[in-house]
Structure 1
Amino acid sequence: MDGNNTHQEITSLVGREVYSNSGVFVGEVEDLQLNVDGQTVTGLALGNLNTELFAEESATGQGVIVPYRWVRAVGDVILINDVVERVRDPDEEETELVA
């Protein structure tokens, strides 16, 4: 029975919205990347992406995979660390610091 509960928890991630720790919408979970041998989730495959963060991927209809190690909390939504800083253009970041 415990294995069945785990299965329900994993599949319940699909469809959840993903936000950065600073509250920026990142995307929506469409699928999971799994390590079958280790029986662990290794990534979240996101679709319905934030077009400001992922302009190229959104324009082509591609998704992105966020490493599961970035996940900080799972509840009604999923919170992750560092996504804005990791995908932001360094020149854009410098401009924001100067302004």
Structure 2
Amino acid sequence: MDGTPQEITNLVGREVYSNNGVFVGEVRDVHLDFERQTVTELALQDLNNELFHGRIDPGKGVMVPYRWVRAVGDVILINDVVERYKEEEEEKAIA
């Protein structure tokens, strides 16, 4: 994050991409820890079907820990954890 204060509501509706530039989903909601005054999770919807096929029912969303967020700008960049998880599953299926 660049340290620039942002309105939390500005996160809603932004597209989320992995570090590798793969579309993950769109922010639907933001979960907060009021005691610490921090964002804890992003609720994503309109997910990338290729990444989540067979794991998430169509029309459902996922929660992404905010600690995965690497940058917030016109889009939100997160660690490529989702892609790595998919690759590990594919490797298990091949073995």
Smaller-chain TM-score range?
0.7 to 0.9
- The aligned counterpart of 2:33 is 35
List 4+ stretches of structure 1 deviating above 2 A: 93-96
Q: 1:92 to 1:42 in 2, by over 3 A?
A: same
Structure (1 or 2) with the larger CA radius of gyration: 1
Counterpart selection for 2:77 from 73, 76, 79: 79
Amino acid at match of 1:23: G
Q: Please report the RMSD computed on the Cα atoms of aligned residues, expressed in angstroms.
A: 2.0
Normalising by structure 2, we get a TM-score of: 0.81
| 2:83 paired with 1:70 | no
Asked whether the equivalents of residues 72 and 79 of structure 1 are also in contact (C-alpha less than 8 Å), the reply is yes
Deviation per residue, 1:13-48 (Å, 9 max, x gap): 000000000000000000011111111100100000
Name stretches of at least 5 consecutive residues in structure 2 with no aligned partner.
Answer: none
Amino acid at match of 1:25: F
Amino acid at match of 2:39: V
Query: 1:12-23, aligned counterparts within 5 Å?
Result: 12-23=10-21
Using CA pairs below 8 Å that are at least 6 residues apart, which structure has the higher relative contact order?
2
Amino acid at match of 2:83: V
Q: 1:92 to 1:27 in 2, by over 3 A?
A: same
Name stretches of at least 5 consecutive residues in structure 1 with no aligned partner.
Answer: 1-5
Q: Distance in 1 between matches of 2:62 and 2:89?
A: 23
Normalising by structure 1, we get a TM-score of: 0.78
